[in-house]
Structure 1
Amino acid sequence: MSDLLAAPVLEHALLPVRAGAREAFERALEQALPLVQAMPGCRGVRVSRNLERPGTYLLLIGWDSVEAHTVGFRESEQYVAWRELLHHFYDPFPVVEHYVTVV
């Protein structure tokens, strides 16, 4: 998989995980990441934990296009499994945004 930062579109989401659920979230994340990594148009994935707020994670996914994420992934069986694995951990639900390189 190529460098996600070199992707034409970078998905960004801060994932606020419910108190006390961090370890379970990280185990579920290990199962969920291969689902998105195998999707056409995915250039790479990185999840980092915030040092100052350990219940907050930064999700970055490189995509070939916004549609690769919003249509290709979100309308797939893999997204159904992703949602079942991860969405119950969030409080509040994360805002997902897409970025393109300026410089």
Structure 2
Amino acid sequence: MVLEVVKLTVIEGQQENFERDYKKAAQYISASKGYIKHSIHKSLEKSNEYIQFVEWESLEDHTVTFFESELFQEWAKLLHDYYDPMPTVEHYETKNLLSE
């Protein structure tokens, strides 16, 4: 499995609208092949910053299957106008190094 970690910076003053539309957009990511689960968390220090975690079966489920789908297009229509700058996306192994 793969953990996608995304730092989101929302245009100041748009947080309420972003949070509303994020709830709507959740249906698109959760319907994608290889999707396991996701969550989003708001920063305590910066009210317009969020971090999103998405678990995928494989890297390709996110970077190919989801990105090339109509589901992603609908996700982007709802959310991409809120970001400045565009999000930083990184992928991590889900294996815990402490349990080795």
TM-score by shorter chain over 0.5: yes
2:78 is aligned to 85
2:69 is aligned to 76
1:19 is aligned to 12
Structure 1 Cα separation of the partners of residues 58 and 41 of structure 2: 23
Alignment-mate amino acid for residue 38 of structure 1: A
TM-score (norm 2): 0.92
Which runs of 5 or more structure 2 residues have no equivalent in the other structure?
Answer: none
RMSD: 0.8
2:35 is aligned to 42
Larger radius of gyration: 2
TM-score (norm 1): 0.90
**Equivalent pairs, count:** 96
2:48 is aligned to 55
Q: Percent identity?
A: 40
Structure 2 Cα separation of the partners of residues 95 and 35 of structure 1: 20
